[in-house]
Chains A and B, each alone.
Chain A
Amino acid sequence: MANFDTELDASGLNCPLPILRAKKSLAGMQSGQILHIIATDPGSVKDFEAFSKQTGNELMESKEEGGKFFFLIKKS
């Protein structure tokens, strides 16, 4: 797991909250910093891909482990 600057635990939250919380977290970060997101919503896998594509914030990693989903997003 790469290093990250901020962590967001969106466990238990459902669409669209993980995306909205991530957007809020990114807003408070500097360009180039990395956000680590933990989610339990299976829909968040596709949603963070789409979020990354549309906002230009790079999705560096997306993985599932033990029923949880982990994402690393680099702020553009």
Chain B
Amino acid sequence: MSEEKKLAIIATKGTLDWAYPPFILASTAAALGYEVQIFFTFYGLQLLKKKLGLKVSPLGNPGMPMPMGMDKWFPVLGTAIPGMEAVMTSMMKSKMKSKGVASVEELRDLCGEADVGMVACQMTVDLFDMPTSDFIDGIDFGGAATFFEFAGEADITLYI
């Protein structure tokens, strides 16, 4: 194998569905021999919490397939009904489990084992007054310059 390639990812989203791309790509790249770093900013910081309470919302998401063809006939406003988010989240989770899709926690653990670097955006942590004790161990805190230190040398950079 030639010299180690590098993958830099910026993770900006904090929903269950969008938690997957950064962790799937990071863990796979690490398995392929890449050195990987993920920079978590804004809502992406939710992905670094010890206790993940990630949800998926049908609200404003016309591309989301729903059971029983509900995405075809269910009124758009109905997706705003209280409890809809919880229902869709638990349905999505059980669907994923039945299809052998890893949980976000599992993929995140695999990233940790594979030495994927995880950097939390310090500015966002301060902005939202997020207690650092809420985050998993082994992460770094930094800013835009920290991101570029790694991304400047990266072969691939993804904004998710």
Contact = CB atoms under 8 A, between A and B. Distances in A.
B99 A14 contact: yes
**Central interface residue in A16, A22, A40, A41, by most chain B CB within 10 Å:** A16
Contact of B33 (A12, A17, A40, A54): A54
Contacts of B110: 20
A13 B27 contact: no
A56 B27 contact: no
Interface residues of A, number: 17
A14 B102 contact: yes
A29 interface: no
A13 B102 CA distance: 8
Contacts of B99: 14
Contact of A17 (B1, B32, B100): B100
B100 A51 contact: no
B31 A14 contact: no
Interface in A11-43: 12-17, 19-20, 22-23, 40-41
A16 B1 contact: no
A55 interface: yes
B100 A16 contact: no
B27 A12 contact: no
Nearest to B24: A16
Interface of B: 1, 24, 27-28, 31-33, 99-102, 110
Interface of A: 12-17, 19-20, 22-23, 40-41, 51, 54-56, 76
